[in-house]
Chain A
Amino acid sequence: MSVLVDRDTRLCVSGITGREGTFHAMNNKRYGTQVVSGVTPGKGGQDVEGVPVFDTFHAAVESTGANTAMVFVPPRFAADSILEAADAGIQTIIAITEGIPAHDELRVYNHLVQAYGPSPPRLIGPNCPGVLSPGKANVGIIPAAFFKEGNVGVVSRSGTLTYQIGNEIAQRGFGNSSIVGIGGDPVPGSSFIDIIALFQDDPETELIVMAGEIGGSAEEEAAAYIGEHVSKPVVAYIAGFTAPPGKTMGHAGAIVSGSQGTAAAKAEALEAQGVRVGRTPTQVAEIAVEILEG
């Protein structure tokens, strides 16, 4: 098992005819992901290395049975593309695009929550590296070669930090059930809580690693949730202990405002719920291995 993407994933790529879109769609396909179609308005009927392109998500879903979307279009078109994928009935939407206006993200999030009843489409990202289930499917830009199949579920706000931690775990002989990048934007479609809940229910996942960073309160909310609902061990890392207040550290969401969102407060909230927090990526891997071998 794994979460979000696996061998049943039938992927439709929005923006497949763009340079980056083609490159990563083909990379995902080579990994073994079923890339069944792409969407580029006005280029319906063409194909990208054998993958058929459609003008609309609705046509792509109807013709190819796509159940998962990857959004790779420029920021000003991305919200529209996410909404179109959802409207076409796609259940899992993974948005890689960086730089989407925050108010667009707000509208998209609230629409998805309000318009689709009890099981709304699941949005991962935007501004994320995607989801990798080693040995099964890769949707996004995670360099799959550094990871192998295993029992550690990883959820992170940052791409390269995920690679760093995942790689250190792999070097110690362990692998991953799934690696989920939820993105560094102010309004992520899925939170730590959403993904941790999936890992808790996934029989293959034995241990959960979460990599957070300064800004917002998602880690504190996750801490409270873990205390109540999660029986599997969780190891956490928080980046940004030395970040000065008031400066945005690369991610739109990573800013310490006043006394809110500091790394120390997040680590404390997690530790209060029994989550072990590593002070370096290496230490996170060491703790994870200690628990797995325990």
Chain B
Amino acid sequence: MDLLEYQGKQLFARHDIPVPEGRHARTVDDAVAAAKEIGFPCVIKAQVKIGGRGKAGGIKVAENEDEAREHASAILGMDIRGFTVHELWVEGASQIAAEYYASIIFDRSAKQPLVMLSTRGGMDIEAVAEEDPDAIATLHIDPLLGFQDFHGRRLAFEAGVDGDVVRPIGAFLGRLYGTFVSEEAMLVEVNPLIVTPERDVRALDAKVTLDDNALLRHPDNAQLRDPSAEDPQEQMAKERGLTYVKLDGDIGILGNGAGLVMSTLDVVAQYGGSPANFLDAGGGSKAEAITSAVEVILSNPNVKAVLFNIFGGITRCDEVARGLVEAFDQIKPTVPFVVRLDGTNDVEGRKILADAALPNVHTAATMNEAAEKVVELAR
């Protein structure tokens, strides 16, 4: 789960990581009130889960109440690379003497957290990594040992931060690591990490990705999920315990198992089709889950045909067939379906479909044949 900047900063504050004082606002009036409370100059920042906010005009400095009102009105409702701005963060403007970059990522390859520090903050770190990899100091941390003071010193010296802030930067990284571990994050990134003219160190931005599998242990964080910001179909699927990702095309896809569904999308594309979604009905799906999944797929108005690709292991093909029959009963779909059933109880499943003689439901013996057929039907 990705957090908004202000949610990340609130998380940082709980772990004693210095952040500028700020207020959250959903309306122009709230934003103006927040600005007056904080004092001028202040910064009005769009809260969306996408980079490039500054360039898009989503971050503005307000010198007075009129400007705060003007900027808040302009930014609320603004579209930033496909994300509509529903929330603002208003914070005191910071004086900046130096801009650094700090992050901790869950390095799957090394199977250890990787801490990165650079004095080239405020810019696109991937561009820095490409142009001048030596400008980024990196260090893997043994998760059983944890972050030690010397790790912080080493990173600070190797990155070449100003001598007088080596210790504060090291301490900052230690707290960032503490946040990463105790909140069970997959990523924490601070860009820029600033040094003020008073030589204070603070996080001017916060990018945090939390591990969805760990949210059970963090009820406070679990509440940060904002269903209103999600795609309505994806939200509906989540409520029904299905793994659904909406795509741009017109062929609805249902399969069991993430790998097989991804493979199905690829095969459909190879036959010239364009999938409307990824939907993994999961292992051992019962008929009700299948019915529910059909409803989710068809709630996307772009869908012109649907492909079922099932290889039953713990999933039973007869359950899938029953679910489809039930879906036809309840929803009465008008688009054609192509169904490929193999694996556990496939004979029974095919018989159920044959007996039901559902309108506009075609069967296919193989995955390739099914893909070819559904692409034709969607034309």
Residue ranges of A at the interface with B (Cβ–Cβ < 8 Å) = 75-76, 99-104, 106-107, 109-111, 114, 129, 141-143, 146, 156-164, 167, 184, 186-187, 211, 213-214, 216-218, 221, 237, 239-244, 247-254, 258, 263, 279-282
* Interface mask (B94-129 → A, CB under 8 Å = 1, otherwise 0): 000000000000101101110000000000001000
Q: A129-B313, A160-B256 are in contact. Are A75 and B262 (CB under 8 A)?
A: no
Cross-chain contact A241 with B266 (CB below 8 angstroms): yes
CB–CB A254/B313 < 8 A: no
**Structural contact, A251 and B258, CB atoms closer than 8 A:** yes
Chain B residues closer than 8 Å to A249, beta-carbon distance: 245, 258, 261-262, 278
A76 and B278 contact, CB distance less than 8 A? no
Distance, CA A109 to CA B143, complexed state (A) = 10
CB pair B343–A159 under 8 Å, yes or no, is no
A102 vs B106: C-alpha distance in the bound complex, in angstroms?
9
Q: Which 9 pairs across A and B sit closest by C-beta, in order of nearness? A: A158-B259, A250-B258, A160-B257, A161-B259, A101-B214, A160-B260, A239-B262, A239-B263, A240-B262
Closest to B344 in A: A143
Distance A274 CA – B311 CA, assembled complex (angstroms)? 30
Asked if residues B263 and A159 are in contact (CB atoms below 8 Å), the reply is no
Given A221-B109, A244-B247, A280-B266, A160 and B259 contact (CB-CB distance below 8 Å): yes
User: Using an 8 Å CB-CB cutoff, how does the interface string of B225-260 with A read, 1 for contact, 0 for none?
Assistant: 000000000000000000101010000000111111
Q: Are A110 and B213 in contact, CB atoms less than 8 angstroms apart?
A: no
Number of interface residues of B (CB under 8 A): 50
- Is B152 positioned at the interface, with any CB of A under 8 Å from its CB? no
Contact B213–A101 (Cβ < 8 Å): yes
Interface positions of B from 153 to 182, Cβ below 8 Å from A = 181
Check B126–A258 contact: CB distance below 8 A.
yes
**Please, which residues of chain B bring their CB within 8 A of the CB of A280?**
263, 266-267, 270, 367-368
* Extra contacts besides A110-B142, A237-B263 (16): CB < 8 Å: A101-B211, A102-B213, A106-B113, A107-B143, A110-B143, A129-B313, A143-B312, A158-B258, A163-B260, A164-B311, A240-B266, A248-B245, A252-B212, A280-B263, A280-B266, A282-B367
CA distance A216 to B105 in the complex (A): 13
Contact in complex: A250, B280 (CB < 8 Å):
yes
Q: Are A247 and B217 within 8 A (Cβ)?
A: no
23 sampled A-B residue pairs with Cβ under 8 A: A103-B181, A106-B113, A109-B111, A111-B144, A160-B311, A160-B313, A161-B259, A161-B260, A161-B262, A167-B343, A187-B108, A214-B262, A218-B108, A240-B265, A242-B266, A249-B245, A249-B261, A250-B259, A252-B212, A279-B266, A280-B266, A280-B267, A282-B366
**Given the complex of chains A and B, what is the CA–CA distance between A247 and B319 in angstroms?**
29
- Please, which residues of chain A bring their CB within 8 A of the CB of B108? 186-187, 216-218, 253
In the complex, A263 Cα to B212 Cα: how many Å? 24
- Per the bound structure, the CA–CA distance linking A146 and B345 in Å amounts to 12
Give the residues in chain A near B323, CB-CB below 8 Å: none
Q: Contact at B184–A250, with CB atoms within 8 Å?
A: no
Q: What's the least CB distance linking A28 to chain B, in Å?
A: 13
Q: Which of B112, B113, B217, B245 is in CB contact (< 8 Å) with A76?
A: B217
Residues of B within 8 A of A161 (CB): 257, 259-260, 262-263
Q: Judge if B87 is at the interface, Cβ distance under 8 Å.
A: no
B34 close to chain A: CB less than 8 A: no
A103 and B211 contact, CB distance less than 8 A: yes
**Cross-chain contact of B265 among A217, A243, A279 (Cβ < 8 A):** A243
Contacts of A164 in B (CB 8 A): 260, 263, 311, 367
Q: Which of B112, B186, B270 contacts A110 (CB 8 A)?
A: B112
B368 touches A143 (CB 8 A): no
> What is the CA–CA distance of A281 and B265 in the complex, to the nearest angstrom?
12
The contact of A75 among B106, B109, B213, B367, by CB within 8 Å, is B213
* Distance between A58 CB and nearest chain B CB, rounded to angstroms: 22
Q: How far is the CA of A258 from the CA of B187 in the complex (A)?
A: 14
Q: Which residues of A contact B342 (CB under 8 A)?
A: 167
By a CB distance below 8 angstroms, the chain A residues around B260 are 158, 160-161, 163-164, 239
B275 adjacent to chain A (CB < 8 Å): yes
Task: Assess whether A159 is in contact with B259, with CB atoms less than 8 Å apart.
Answer: yes
